[in-house]
Structure 1
Amino acid sequence: MSKVLLVEDDPVVQAALVHALTELGHVVQAVSTAVAALREAANQELDLVLLDLGLPDLDGVAALRMLRGVSNVPVIVATARGSESSIVSALDAGADDYIVKPFSSEHLTARMNALLRRTGTERPKPEHVDVLTVGDLHIDLGQRQARLGDKMLSLSRREFDLLAYLAQRPSKVITRRELIQAVWGHPHVGDDKTIDVHASWLRRKLGETAANPKYLHTVRGVGLKLSAPE
């Protein structure tokens, strides 16, 4: 699993790419401007940047040069500009690869994997685990079932997805941005009530409340974490 920053201002293309990459197991953060991309690249560790050149605030080639001033993260330019001069300009500015729209998710994935292997930033896939255990909570990923002690939990699809995502990262605080992108598949952080409502429903089924959490903990201003009761 790799952490990918997607820089794409077309909302339709952005949503499609976020969905495709998330389905493939990547954690995707999407932004629509060069300024936002530079801020994220400077403030967090990324495995790869997927960069469109036609951005609303700054030309992608100029943004790429600025990005190289703050990070050595591998960059794939994904754009509709297919001329030789555009390709040469992007590569000279610091791009590691260049792919012309339209392209298939399989083509993009192959390019990403090849670049990650070349740069040594490809993260090993976690060992396959069918059942996750956090305290007395058991989550069967294959059967999509969860059990608390001897009691089977009746969970909606989204409740199960949220619980499973957190259980795969026990005791780690997962940000709201990551949850909305990885669990809901949205390219933008939406209304926080989406997460809060599902967390509230999940707590009821776990026999706890936000005031007295046992497993599901809210870290104010950051996100959620799942941990075994002390």
Structure 2
Amino acid sequence: MAILIVEDEVSIRDVLKSYFLKEGWDVLTSSDGLDAMKKIRKFKIDLVVLDLMIPKLSGEEVCREIRTISNVPVFIISAKSREEDMINGLNLGADDYITKPFRIKEVLARINALLRRIEMVTKESKKILYFNHKSLVINFETKELLVSNKVVNLTFTEFKILDALVKKPGKVFSRQDLTYIVQGYRFIGDGRTMDAHIKNLRKKIEEDPKNPKYIVTKIGSGYKFNCHLDEAQ
């Protein structure tokens, strides 16, 4: 498996590269956004570790461009530590976000957990689920989504949220529950990061995101999937 580290600080880039090599990854590195996008288009990348404050093309722009061509998991590591920065990163399509200074063991643990969850989505779910007379089709083998017969690209985190919700239609999941299921840890804060993921997901699957019919908010409790499987599956 191949990982791309996009980081302009040599010391941080070298530390990350050393640890990922020890973990058995094939490692590519970039020190600027333009070079990162060239490598993403040229090579098969399984995970991108992305700094936001990089030259030539910002990390935000890199993340935005990645999401136009790929659903590869994106893990942001950034000195931008405000909650607004984290939410913005998630809104751009990142799967996880950790701030500098970071502990390398935490980075490795989060990434390994992310990869395990990717594998579990495929193994534990039915291969294809149909909802609303096939208006919504979820293919777990290819991790593709069809909305009104059009392919919609989801980030892995968005896909995992949808996976958790559709497995138990009607069940209300709190933000804490969803964060634990999807990220593997309990959030600290007001839950706005999960709200950002839900907002992004609604934009992609709902005909009217402001009046959703699939992912419904239960005020004061959380979110639920409000549609049952088509019959005869």
| 1:110 and 2:124 matched | no
| TM-superposed deviation, 1:78 | 0.6
Counterpart of 1:220?
none
Cα distance in structure 1, aligned partners of 2:101 and 2:25: 21
| TM-superposed deviation, 1:5 | 0.3
Paired amino acid for 1:24: E
Cα distance in structure 2, aligned partners of 1:34 and 1:71: 16
| Cα-Cα RMSD | 1.7
- Count of aligned positions: 121
3-state SS of the aligned residue for 2:68?
coil
Counterpart of 1:29?
28
Higher relative contact order (CA 8 A, sep 6+): 1
CA contact (8 A) 1:74 1:119 kept: no
| 1:90 and 2:97 matched | no
> Which protein has the larger Cα radius of gyration, Structure 1 or Structure 2?
1
| TM-superposed deviation, 1:53 | 0.2
Counterpart of 1:9?
8
Counterpart of 2:224?
none
TM-score (norm 2): 0.50
Cα distance in structure 2, aligned partners of 1:42 and 1:12: 26
Counterpart of 2:50?
51
| TM-superposed deviation, 1:121 | 9.3
The structure 1 segments of at least 4 consecutive aligned residues displaced by more than 6 Å after TM superposition are: none
| TM-superposed deviation, 1:70 | 1.7
1:107-155 CA distance string (max 9 Å, x none): 0111111111222399xxxxxxxxxxxxxxxxxxxxxxxxxxxxxxxxx
CA contact (8 A) 1:41 1:71 kept: no
| TM-superposed deviation, 1:37 | 1.0
Which sections of structure 1, spanning at least 5 residues, go unmatched?
Answer: 123-230
User: Taking structure 1 as reference, are residues 110 and 73 closer, same or farther at Cα in structure 2, changes over 3 Å only?
Assistant: same
From the two aligned structures, give the one with the greater helix fraction.
Answer: 2
Cα distance in structure 1, aligned partners of 2:103 and 2:38: 29
Which sections of structure 2, spanning at least 5 residues, go unmatched?
Answer: 122-233
